[in-house]
Amino acid sequence: SQTIHQWPATLVQPVGSPLSLECTVEGTSNPNLYWYRQAAGRGLQLLFYSVGIGQISSEVPQNLSASRPQDRQFILSSKKLLLSDSGFYLCAWSVLRGRNSPLHFGNGTRLTVT
């Protein structure tokens, strides 16, 4: 069966520090991968999605970036965090080219920038 892992579960970082959140998927090949952010009182916002290794599409201009160094690994990064980067970050996957494939989410990372 397929599983998705995200870490760390919680993170407290000072303003200006770097960020690296990692997500891996097991039990499937060539998935679509997604990074979403959920801010307090707001809906989920799609940040990045990827249809293959090295293929990243950005949905929202910001100081975050994403990379996909391996088929089932998706990394969210920042060189210098802002207070506004605080939120709940969720990684998700779906079947490649599966327009009618359910999205499966990890358990998320709670990021607090102080």
Partner 1 sequence: KQEVTQIPAALSVPEGENLVLNCSFTDSAIYNLQWFRQDPGKGLTSLLLIQSSQREQTSGRLNASLDKSSGRSTLYIAASQPGDSATYLCAVGGATNKLIFGTGTLLAVQP
Residues that bind partner 1 (CB under 8 A): 6, 32, 34, 41-44, 46, 49, 51, 59, 90, 92, 94, 98-108, 110
Query: Can you tell me the distance from the alpha carbon of 5 to that of 73, in angstroms, rounded to the nearest whole number?
Result: 10
97: which 2 tokens?
A: 């080219």
- Least separation in angstroms between CB 7 and partner 1: 13
17: which 2 tokens?
A: 């520090």
CB-CB contact of 91 with 6 (8 Å):
yes
Report the residue count for the chain.
114
Return the number of the residue (21 or 92) whose C-beta is nearest partner 1. Answer: 92
- Least separation in angstroms between CB 59 and partner 1: 8
Return the number of the residue (68 or 108) whose C-beta is nearest partner 1. Answer: 108
In 3D space, the residue among 93, 109, 68 whose CA is nearest the CA of residue 1 turns out to be: 93
- Least separation in angstroms between CB 107 and partner 1: 5
Return the number of the residue (78 or 94) whose C-beta is nearest partner 1. Answer: 94
Return the number of the residue (32 or 78) whose C-beta is nearest partner 1. Answer: 32
70: which 2 tokens?
A: 């391996």
